[in-house]
Amino acid sequence: MMTRHLFDRRRAILGMGAALMMSAAKQTVAADGDFAARLAEMQRDGRVSGLHALLVSRGGRTLFEYYGVGEDESWGAPLGTITFGPAVLHDLRSVTKSLVGMLYGIALADGKVPAPEARLYDQFPEYPDLARQPGRDRITVAHALSMTMGTEWDELTHPYGDPRNSENAMEAAPDRYRYILSLPIVGEPGVKWTYCGGATALLGRLIAKGTGEKLLDYARRVLFDPLGLGPVEWSTDAKSEPRAASGGRMRPPDLLRVGQMVLANGAWQGKQIVPADWLKRSTTPAVTIEGTRRYGWHWYLGELPVGTPRHVEPTISAVGWGGQRLFLVPALDLAVAMNAGNYRLPIMEQSRIGTALITDLVLPGLS
């Protein structure tokens, strides 16, 4: 049973791009643009469930907003039944990782954090015993950005909440950073992508150390406030360390705005928020996950068949547990933000719902 569980979780994470490719290829490009009616039909026939919010914009203009009612939680803590709307915060889960990636780029431009090519363990002098271990000197900050550190990490075999899951083991550790940095080396750095919240935790720590600010305070000052976002929360552990990899909470329209800013090469209302060269580098493939599915520096990168005649366009996305998505197609100037409460659904079903919303609802509605 555990083997099947591992296979399903890994296949879902690695295969999301392939699912989009196949579904979009079969999609007829003709629709009346009635997003609401078609979404209601998809909810009735079971193609979509647990959807809390869906926002679609093109060319910076919002085309569609949907808000539902449903059970929700905040990093595992039940919130009860929530009536969602534009002012209601929602967990981002691992979409938070892409925010941290952008914050690192901002801090780098300000000279506050080490360059990507810097040796990772040199940035943590408080752990000299770990830095002296053979092979650690080959791991760089760039390997944390691309999740190719080559160290042991497993968020896929065991469900979240299970102490054998590496994310939960990190949460339970007396020192989360020592825990991450002490894990055995199992492969050559820069070769294999391994989904790793620990990598994001290290980046968040470097940002906080370099700027002298708490991660949320720095994010507000250099990213959230310049974008004009509303209230944003970032959960912390029992020791007040930020959950850099998955602790963000944001209003759905603000998540959409983040996507619009990325599509505008990091600029918003005439002001450069995230350095354009950083966004270009971080959305350039650093490692192949599987097939056409690649990973940059804290962004998923894929391909999507669009238009008539059919042709393939690159996609940029951030994905979080339970059905959180930020999906971008630069060539179409398309941004899609979605939140859902499918935390208890198998990851394959979470992936299927997200794919259906893009291929059966959003893309046909653009014609």
* Predicted confidence (pLDDT) per residue in 3-16, tens digit: 344 445 555 555 55
Instruction: Judge whether residue 309 has pLDDT over 90.
Output: no
Angle (CA) 243-235-317 rounded to 5° is: 60
Identify the CATH number of the domain in which residue 262 sits.
3.40.710
* Predicted confidence (pLDDT) per residue in 252-287, tens digit: 999 999 999 999 999 999 999 999 999 999 999 999
119 located within any domain: no
* Predicted confidence (pLDDT) per residue in 216-236, tens digit: 999 999 999 999 999 999 999
Find out whether 273 and 259 touch, Cβ atoms under 8 Å.
no
15 located within any domain: yes
215 located within any domain: no
CA distance 301 to 286: 10
Give the domain extent around 78: 2-90+251-365
66 located within any domain: yes
Distance of CA 131 to the CA centre of its chain: 29
Band the pLDDT of 78: cuts 50, 70, 90. very high
336 located within any domain: yes
pLDDT: which is higher, 188 or 28: 188
The rounded radius of gyration (Å) of the Cα atoms in the chain is: 20
CA distance 118 to 355: 37
Measured N-to-C along each axis, helices 347-356 and 2-26 cross at an angle, to the nearest 10 degrees, of: 10
Count of the separate structural domains present in the chain: 1
Residue for token digits 């059919």?
Answer: 310
CA distance 31 to 329: 19
228 located within any domain: no
Task: Reduce the DSSP state of residue 152 to 3 states and report it.
Answer: coil
Name the nearest CA neighbour of 97 among 21, 173, 13.
13
Instruction: Judge whether residue 35 has pLDDT over 70.
Output: yes
297 located within any domain: yes
* Predicted confidence (pLDDT) per residue in 185-221, tens digit: 999 999 999 999 999 999 999 999 999 999 999 999 9
What global pTM score does this model have? 0.92
112 located within any domain: no
